[in-house]
Structure 1
Amino acid sequence: MSQIIFLHGASSSGKSTIAQALQQKMAKPCWHISIDHLHDLFRRFDVLFAAVHCPVPELNARERLRGDRPEGSAQRDQSMIHAGRVYDIEIDSMDGIEANVQTILQAWRSDLRQSEFSQSFA
């Protein structure tokens, strides 16, 4: 079965940075695809749904550094992006890339799935 690690978080929360670090640590080749709504396409895959949290002051600082987003968009995302979601794992980007990659890999290798993806397709 194909496997997917789905990182879900507000704009500037660190999803792309974590995804790039995961790619370097994984034994199997993987793609990093930025997505919003591919729920139906995930039906045939083993999905690990991971929430990526980041404190609002850090989101705002990262957003300013990026310079490619409207000011306040990350904070708006953070206020609603996780509402009502059921994840397999939740991480905080302030814990550091290496710690988050290890936490995600451990969860992925455990084969324990409890997210809305695994519940929808069981």
Structure 2
Amino acid sequence: MKERAKIIFIHGASSSGKTTLARAVQAQITEPFWHVSIDHIRDSGVLPMGRFRQGDFEWTEYRDSFFEGFHRSLVAYASAGNNLLLEHILEEPQWTSNLALLLEPFDVFFVGLHCDLDDLVKRETLRGDRRTGSAADDFRRVHQGQRYDLELPAGQTTADYAARLLSAWTARRSPSVFEELALQARGVADRPAK
């Protein structure tokens, strides 16, 4: 019987270092993991970003269907037996429970990556490819109300973060936070209407 796919989900503010951490973990983990993110789709040319920026298309009209498609694609990749290193920002409150249900068949390890606000703002400025202020907006809200299997506090090196993540990943226990969230979401979804 095929083993269920594994997903290491790195969640944090824009410019918090998710990509750098994912690459470090991918280079060291003992099994092959796909590194998946919205940035990969945007930067590869899949999205007509130039046309959105020019105003030919209004992003707000297509945003919900884009993210719904992205979230469903994760299920397709994992259902085919691929392990995923997912970096994502849960921008909408319902995304957490929606993803918990979608990813319920898989072994999900949910990691919260924290970063100081000053560092986020500096990184955002240096990158130059983010809307100014998005990192500060994320800082104030993305971790609110979230529970994680592992939280990585601000102020450590990528090597330290990767070592802590890999150690916690190896020692992880069930149920994971995402398993608990799926049960909670399913409990609400399965309740008969009054």
TM-score over 0.5 for the pair: yes
Aligned equivalents of 1:65, 1:54: Cα separation in 2: 16
In the alignment, which of 2, 10, 26 is matched to residue 5 of structure 2?
Answer: 2
Q: Which has the higher helix share?
A: 2
Q: Report if the CA contact (8 A) 2:100-2:182 is conserved.
A: no
Is 1:120 the counterpart of 2:120? The answer is no
Q: Report if the CA contact (8 A) 1:13-1:93 is conserved.
A: no
Q: Which runs of 5+ in 1 are unaligned?
A: none
Q: Deviations 1:4-63 (Å, cap 9, x if unpaired)?
A: 110000000000100001010011110111245433331111111000000000000000
Pairwise CA distance, 1:115? 4.9
Q: Which runs of 5+ in 2 are unaligned?
A: 38-87, 184-194
Aligned equivalents of 2:154, 2:175: Cα separation in 1: 21
Is 1:48 the counterpart of 2:109? The answer is yes
1:69-84 superposed matches below 5 A: 69-84=130-145
Aligned equivalents of 2:15, 2:29: Cα separation in 1: 23
RMSD: 1.7
Structure 2 residue aligned with 1:31: 34
Higher Rg of the two aligned structures: 2
What is the TM-score normalised by the length of structure 2? Answer: 0.59
Is 1:86 the counterpart of 2:89? The answer is no
Aligned equivalents of 1:67, 1:45: Cα separation in 2: 36
Identity %: 40
Is 1:101 the counterpart of 2:104? The answer is no
Q: Deviations 1:69-121 (Å, cap 9, x if unpaired)?
A: 11111010010001111100100353111111111111111122565302134
Aligned equivalents of 2:142, 2:25: Cα separation in 1: 22
Aligned equivalents of 2:14, 2:176: Cα separation in 1: 21
Aligned equivalents of 1:85, 1:114: Cα separation in 2: 16
Aligned equivalents of 1:86, 1:117: Cα separation in 2: 9
Structure 1 residue aligned with 2:127: 66
Q: Report if the CA contact (8 A) 1:63-1:71 is conserved.
A: yes
Aligned residue pairs: how many?
Answer: 122
